[in-house]
Structure 1
Amino acid sequence: MFKQDLTGEYLEISNIQKDEQDSVLAKDNVVGVGIGHKTTDEKETGDVCMTVLVAQKLDASLLKIDDMIPPTIGKFKTDVIETGEIFAGTHHDTEDVALTEEENVGAQILAKRLRPVKGGYSVGHYKITAGTMATAVYDAKPYPGIPSKYYMLSNNHVLANSNNARIGDPILQPGPYDGGKRRKDRIARLSRFVPIRFNGPCNYVDAAIAEGQFHDLNREIYWIGYVKGVGAVKVGTIVQKTGRTTNYTTGKVVALNGTVNVNYGSGQVAKMCRQIITTNMSAGGDSGSLLCDLNENAVGLLFAGSSTVTIHNDIRYVQSLLNIRIV
C-alpha cells in the first residue's frame, strides 16, 4: 500500500509490521504477513490485527517454541490464516508440467482467438503455457497527447517468462497451451518488464507490457467493461476480475500491505511486498487479470495464489514502475 493510504491504527500497525515481519516470516510454516481484521468464531470483528499466512495450521505440540505465532505483536492481536503454499499462477514453459485438471476448468475458459483481444482472455509468451491479459495501456508520457505505442498489460511471468525472455519476443493470443502458434497467433512483442528478484529483496510487482497494433488491443474487460479510474482498496472491499481460467469472479480483501513469499517453481521464491490479499478468486492461468472494485476502478494485478487466497500487486505500483497509464 502507498504510505498515505494508511492512517490511524492501520498506520500504527504498519510500522510494527515493518519492524517485526522478517522475524515472523522466518518462522517455519509462515508464508506471509499483512494487515487485516481479526476473525473470531468465523466472524470478522473489525479489530485491526496482524494477519499471518501459514502453509498449514498445526497443533502447538508439533511446533517449536520459536515457530509459534504469538497472540499479539506489539499491542495488536494476530490472526492466523491457513493458505497452503503460495504459487505464481502459471507454469513457466510449455514443456513443463501441464495445467492440472482442477486448473483446466473446461469449455468456459476464455481461451479462443479474439481480435481485437479484450482483457480477461488467454495470452502468453511463446515459451509459457497461458496467462491472462489485464487490459490495454499506453505510455504515461506524453499526456495529454498522442500515444506513439499501445500495449497489453499482464504479469512478468506471463509475458516475460519470469525474466527469461528477450525484448521483442513474440506474445501469442491465445497462449501456447490454448493452441496459440508463433506464425499465426502473434499479437504483440515483449516491450518491457520489471525484473523479479528471487530469494532475497522485496519485489512490488510481477508485471510486463507487450507492444501490439492499436486495432488488435481492446481496453474493454470481458464482463466488467471499461476501467473508469485507478484507486485503492480497504480491508473488506468487494472486488472483481475476469480471467482466462475461472472467468468472472468476485472476492473480498482480507489483508493489505502484505509481504508474501511466492513460489515460482524450480526453487525460485520471490518476496513480494505491499500486496493486496483477497479471498480465493483464481486458478492457474488467471495470472495477469486486472482486479477492479465494483465501480470499475482498477486496484490490482492478479499474479499468485493458493486454494484459499489470491495475491495481487497494487495497480499504482504497476503503473509507476512500468511508466504506463491505464486510463
Structure 2
Amino acid sequence: MLQQQLTGDSLAVANAIDKQQSQLLARANVQGVGIGHKIKGGVDTGTLSLTVFVSHKVDPGLLSDGDKIPKQVDKIPTDVIETGMIFAGGTPQAITPEELGVQTLATRVRPVEGGYSVGHFKITAGTMATAVFDATPYPAIPRAYYMLSNNHVLANSNDARLGDAILQPGPHDGGTFPNDVVARLARFVPIRFDGSCNFVDAAIAEGPFHWLDREIYWIGYVQGVATVDVDQIVQKTGRTTNYTTGRVIAINATVNVNYGGGKVATMCRQLVTTNMSAGGDSGSLLCDMNRNAVGLLFAGSSAVTIHNDIRFVQALLGIRLV
C-alpha cells in the first residue's frame, strides 16, 4: 500500500485511522476520517486529533450508541467537523458572455497554462493542473509532454478511451471538436467503486510541446514537490474560482466521495482543506506558498475541498512535475 511519510504522534493517529476507519465510516452521516487538530470553541488547540467528517451534526441523543463518535480512539482525542456531502467535480458555474469579453480562465488560450478550462469532449469542464513529462532519470529528453488533471476531467470517470480528444476550453465553455482539440488522453488511473482504497483521481493527456505551458496562472512555475501539515496555508488557481487560498484541516484522510449515479469511491491518503473551490475547479494543482506542488484538487463540498497527495499522483501516473 502507498504510504505517507508520517512520524511520531501523526503516525500514531494514522495507525488508529487504519485500524478503525471501517467502523467509523459505517456510522451514520460519517463522510471521512483524517489527522487533524482538536477544535474547542472554534479555536484550533494545536492538539492532534482523529478528525471525523460528517455530512451534518446530530444531537447525540438522537443517535444510537453504535452511531455515536467516541471521544477517544486508541487514547487519541476525536474531533467532529460538519462538511455536507462530498462530490467529485460538480457542474461548472456558467461564465457569462460579458465575463468572456474580459480575461477569464474559461477562454481559449495557446499555450495552455495551469488553471485554464479543459475537458474530455464528453464532459462539461475542469481545470488543467500544469504540464508534466514522463518520470525518466535525469539527464534525459522527454518522450512526450502532457497536461495533468483528474480522471473525471480527462477520462470521463473511466469511460474514455486512450487517444480521446481533450478540448480547451472544455465543452461547457464553448470548446468544440475538432477546432479546440489541444491534447489526446494518454494515461489514467482507474477509479474503483467497490469500497477498496483509491489514492488518486488523475489522468494525463499528450499534447504538442508548444501548446502546453508549465506555468500556473497567477501562481507561477512549480518549484518542487512537498508535503504539508495541518493548519498550513495553501493556494490554487482554477477555472471557476480563479486564485484562492485555503488552510489544511486534515492529512492522511480517508473520504467517501460521490461521483453521481449512485457511485461512491473510497479515497485514501487524501488532503482536506477549507473550501477553496467550486464546480469546474477539478484538476487544479494545490501548492504551498513557496510554489511547491502538494496536491491535486478533485472533490469538495460547501465546507471543504479534497485533494490527492501529489506524490501519489506522480508515482501512479509515472510522471514528473519538475
**1:7, distance to aligned residue in structure 2 (A):** 1.1
1:75 paired with 2:75, answer yes
Secondary structure of residue in 1 paired with 2:139 = coil
**Match in the other structure for 1:10:** 10
Partner of 1:193: 188
The answer for the alignment partner of 1:49 in structure 2 is: 49
Contact (CA 8 Å) 2:191, 2:198: kept in 1 or not? yes
Mapped to 2, the partners of 1:140 and 1:3 lie a distance apart of: 19
Q: Distance in 1 between matches of 2:302 and 2:316?
A: 29
Quote the residue 1:279 is aligned against.
274
2:312 alignment counterpart:
317
Aligned-partner Cα distance in 2 for 1:253–1:216: 33
Summarize the Cα distance change of 1:161–1:28 in structure 2 as closer, same or farther, 3 Å threshold: same
What is the correspondence of 1:246-325 to structure 2 with a 5 Å cutoff? Answer: 246-325=241-320
For 1:4 and 1:308, how far apart are their aligned partners in 2?
Answer: 25
- How far apart are residue 144 of structure 1 and its match? 1.8
Change (3 A) 1:104 1:65: farther
Contact 2:95 2:173 in 1 (8 A): no
| Separation in structure 2 between the aligned mates of residue 55 and residue 304 of structure 1, nearest angstrom | 14
- Which runs of no fewer than 5 residues in structure 1 stay unpaired? 92-98
TM-score by length of 2: 0.96
Instruction: Output the TM-score relative to the length of structure 1.
Output: 0.95
The answer on 1:63 being equivalent to 2:63 is yes
User: What runs of 5+ residues in structure 2 fail to find an aligned partner?
Assistant: none
Equivalent in the alignment of 2:23 = 23
Superposed counterparts of 1:204-219, under 5 Å: 204-219=199-214
- Secondary structure, counterpart of 1:259 in structure 2: strand
Do 1:124 and 1:159's aligned partners in 2 also have CA atoms closer than 8 Å? yes
Please state how far the C-alpha of 1:16 moved relative to its aligned partner: 1.1
CA distance in 2, matches of 1:90, 1:188: 23
Counterpart CA distance in 1 for 2:321 and 2:4 is 21
- Verify the 8 A CA contact 2:164 2:185 in the aligned structure 1: yes
Cα RMSD between the aligned structures?
Answer: 1.3
Q: CA–CA distance in 1 between the matches of 2:47 and 2:312?
A: 27
Partner of 2:37: 37
Alignment of 1:177-188 (within 5 A): 177-188=172-183
Q: Give 1:4 shift.
A: 5.8
